[in-house]
């Protein structure tokens, strides 16, 4: 079963990390990723002259650090909704490489938490508005996977073109197997 957990973590870890960073930034009122200490990763791409002229790098940085924030501000996510979204993202039964047994268990839990989110939104907003926000929550999940891919593209572009990984993107050795960039 530990092997199944590793498969899940490898599949969702970057998307979950981005989703969590976006939620913290959203709660801080930012329209770009920002850390609790006030540092925002987009700053070097906006102000550092060596990167300012590289339009491709700037576009990739914008896709990685600013674009993922747009759905949060468009739909507005509460802590309760965010908690259920996190549960749902981990319980994706379509993760490649899972055993049939793990897939069946995860499918049951996925259904449970999906219904819980839908019922919560129906009770909070009404049937129509709740169903609309439910669909937007699933769009937020897919956006987090796309954002994670954009982050990887930025990392690889900067590493290959500038021959060094960005300082803020270094990954500890203990997590390299999970993130596998």
- Residue 115 to residue 108: CA distance in whole angstroms: 11
97 neighbors 51 (Cβ within 8 angstroms): no
Instruction: Kindly give the confidence (pLDDT) of every residue in the chain, 181 residues in length, as a single tens digit, with 9 standing for 90 and above.
Output: 688 888 998 899 989 999 998 999 999 999 988 888 888 777 777 665 566 677 888 888 888 888 999 999 999 999 999 999 999 999 999 899 999 999 999 999 999 999 999 999 999 999 999 999 999 999 999 999 999 899 888 888 888 877 665 555 555 554 555 555 4
pLDDT at site 88? 96
Assign residue 115 the CATH number of its domain: 1.10.565.10
Kindly report the number of other CB atoms within 10 A of residue 141's CB atom.
18
Contact 144, 40 (CB under 8 A): no
The predicted structure's pLDDT at residue 58? 82
Q: What total number of domains does the chain contain?
A: 1
Separation between Cα atoms, residue 131 and residue 126, nearest integer Å? 8
What is the pTM for the complete model shown?
0.81
Distance CA 9, CA 2 (A): 11
At 35 the pLDDT is 82
| Residue 136, token pair as written in the block | 């937007």
> Are 155 and 179 in contact, with CB atoms under 8 Å apart?
no
d(CA 96, CA 8): 9
* Residue 171 contacts residue 115 (beta carbons within 8 Å): no
Dist. CA 33–CA 163, nearest whole Å: 25
Q: Which residues contact 54 (CB under 8 A, 6 or more apart)?
A: 161
Q: What is the pLDDT of residue 34?
A: 85
Domain that holds residue 72: 2-179
pLDDT score of 42: 77
Cα(179)–Cα(160) distance, rounded to whole angstroms? 18
Q: Given this model, what pLDDT does residue 165 score?
A: 56
Yes or no: say if 117 and 81 are a contact pair by the CB < 8 Å rule.
yes
């Amino acid at each position: 079963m530990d092997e199944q957990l590793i498969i899940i973590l490898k599949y969702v870890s970057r998307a979950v990390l981005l989703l969590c960073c976006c939620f913290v930034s959203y709660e801080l009122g930012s329209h770009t990723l920002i850390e609790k200490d006030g540092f925002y990763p987009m700053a070097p791409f906006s102000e550092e002259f060596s990167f300012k002229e590289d339009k491709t790098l700037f576009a990739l940085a914008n896709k990685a650090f600013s674009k993922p924030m747009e759905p949060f501000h468009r739909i507005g996510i509460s802590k309760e909704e965010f908690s259920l979204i996190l549960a749902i993202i981990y319980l994706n039964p379509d993760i490649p490489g899972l055993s049939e047994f793990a897939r069946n268990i995860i499918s049951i839990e996925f259904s449970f938490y999906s219904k819980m989110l839908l019922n919560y939104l129906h009770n909070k907003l009404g049937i129509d508005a709740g169903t609309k926000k439910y669909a937007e929550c699933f769009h937020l999940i897919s956006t987090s996977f796309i954002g994670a891919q954009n982050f990887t593209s930025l990392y690889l572009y900067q590493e290959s073109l500038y021959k060094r990984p960005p300082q803020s993107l270094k990954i500890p050795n203990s997590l390299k197997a999970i993130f596998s960039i």
